[in-house]
Amino acid sequence: MTIKEKDKKYILPTYARADVEFVRGENATLFDVNGKKYIDFTSGIGVVSVGHANKRVADALCEQVHAITHISNLYYIAPQAEAAQKVVEVSGYDMACFFANSGAEANEGAIKIARKHGERDGEIKRYKIITLNHSFHGRTITTVKATGQESMHNYFGPFPDGFVYADGIDEIEGMLDDHTAAVMIELIQGEGGVEPQDKEKVQKLAKLLKEKEIPLIVDEVQTGAYRVGEFTASQAYEIEPEIITLAKGVGGGVPVGIVMTTLKEVLSAGDHGSTFGGNYLSSRAVCEVVDILRELKESGDLEITSLMFNKALEEFAKKYPDTFTKKVGFGMMCGLRVKDADTLTNIINAAREHGVMVLKAGRNTLRFLPPLTITKEEIDEGFKALNSAMATL
């Protein structure tokens, strides 16, 4: 039985899979079962932040597996405490962490913290969470409802009450009331089309929420772990949220979700938990990944790589003014607006055929999330393959 036959027989059909099976990776380079080489401008949708088969991460995980992989959170876990310390220190915020297994779980934890915090003052039940249209916060029943995309709400209701959607940052102030528990935003909407929020508007909102003592939750599942240059986009936007959620790149490929919050005293023993969250294996991955990325940041190599990639992307886009209308995003989270959805699909398919992996975001954005360790040679090879793909359209 082939892999495709096994997949069809035993896996639920929730993914429209491309016809390729990867078997090996080296940094930003992948190899399929036939030995064909691909440059990866996706890093597993922003996950493989330090590249495929990173030796330091592999060695750390191997060492940990040979020692102890998992107990439970009923006991002290040294690498979990170390990972929390590293994450808090590089963030620059005075926060404490809860470890989960995914971005959706991290956002669930953030919502629970906000809602319990909203009950602490007595009679008025603060339960309402304001999010933005075109946002994406996860695929659990609660986080899919927090997601401001109506198409994602089909079939799965009834949903938890209390989620409302603003068309933009400007609209949020008029939606605040005595029942508002928190505002939850992405500073750059990833699935929504690599759409950055206006920095001044975000700062004004953050200031207003502090005055009203309403927590700001920043979903950094995709923007965190130095994806946009700083450890968090919140640092780049120069704001101080009460709650930040992380996942994807912070584990370098090992499933990890993290809630960071200044509201350290809200949750008590038994209020929240996770069987696997923050176990020895995942925490050890966080420790190594954060160390690697911090070194890249402090050496200046991260900025150099980001500048190289963005320059190459801009030069590529200029060659096809009839196809690409605008470059969006910043750091290593970038996109090109494409003239129509059909052309976008054709570009992604042609790129894969020519040995480079790219992503879709929203209805009309070609998304780029390369490993933060990508080399100049890999960047050059990837855009050479993209140009070859464009020549076939």
Angle between helices 341-353 and 376-390 (to 10 degrees): 120
Burial (CB count <10 Å: 0-12, 13-18, 19+), residue 273: middle
Residue 14: predicted pLDDT: 94
pLDDT confidence of 363, banded at 50, 70, 90? confident
* 351 C-beta neighbours (distance < 10 Å), count: 24
pLDDT 10s digits, 112-127: 999 999 886 666 789 9
Closest CA to 252 of 57, 22, 45: 57
Instruction: With a cut of 90, say whether residue 278 has pLDDT above it.
Output: yes
Q: What separation in angstroms does the CA of 91 have from each of 84, 243, 245, 386?
A: 11, 12, 12, 35
pLDDT 10s digits, 287-335: 999 999 999 999 999 999 999 999 999 999 999 999 999 999 999 999 9
Residue 125: predicted pLDDT: 86
Residue 286: predicted pLDDT: 98
Q: Note whether 246 and 279 are same-domain residues.
A: yes
Q: Note whether 372 and 228 are same-domain residues.
A: no
Q: Note whether 261 and 384 are same-domain residues.
A: no
Q: ω before 158 within 30° of 0 (cis)? A: yes
Q: Note whether 103 and 131 are same-domain residues.
A: yes
Angle between helices 301-318 and 280-299 (to 10 degrees): 80
Residue 191: predicted pLDDT: 86
Domain boundary at 234, 263, 298, which? 298
Residue 384 domain boundaries? 3-53+300-390
Cα gap 326→276, rounded to integer Å: 42
Q: What is the dihedral of CA 327, 227, 278, 290, to 10 degrees?
A: 170
- 267: CATH: 3.40.640.10
Q: Note whether 171 and 193 are same-domain residues.
A: yes
Residue 122: predicted pLDDT: 65
Q: Note whether 97 and 221 are same-domain residues.
A: yes
Q: What is the dihedral of CA 181, 275, 140, 171, to 10 degrees?
A: 30
Which tokens is 362 given?
A: 């929203």
Would residue 200 count as lying in a domain? Answer: yes
Q: Note whether 207 and 129 are same-domain residues.
A: yes
* 268 C-beta neighbours (distance < 10 Å), count: 8
Residue 92: predicted pLDDT: 97
Domain boundary at 298, 329, 350, which? 298
Chain-wide mean pLDDT for the chain?
96
Burial (CB count <10 Å: 0-12, 13-18, 19+), residue 375: middle
Give residue 276's Cα distance to chain centre.
20
pLDDT confidence of 365, banded at 50, 70, 90? very high
Which tokens is 39 given?
A: 């440059």
Q: Note whether 179 and 158 are same-domain residues.
A: yes
Would residue 153 count as lying in a domain? Answer: yes
Cα gap 382→373, rounded to integer Å: 14
Residue 198 has what DSSP assignment? P
Q: Note whether 199 and 79 are same-domain residues.
A: yes
- 305: CATH: 3.90.1150.10
What is the model's pTM?
Answer: 0.96
pLDDT 10s digits, 47-105: 999 999 999 999 999 999 999 999 999 999 999 999 999 999 999 999 999 999 999 99
Would residue 206 count as lying in a domain? Answer: yes
Helix, strand, or coil (residue 19): coil
Instruction: Give the lowest-confidence range in 109-123, 173-187, 190-204.
Output: 109-123
Domain count within the chain = 2
Residue 252: predicted pLDDT: 97
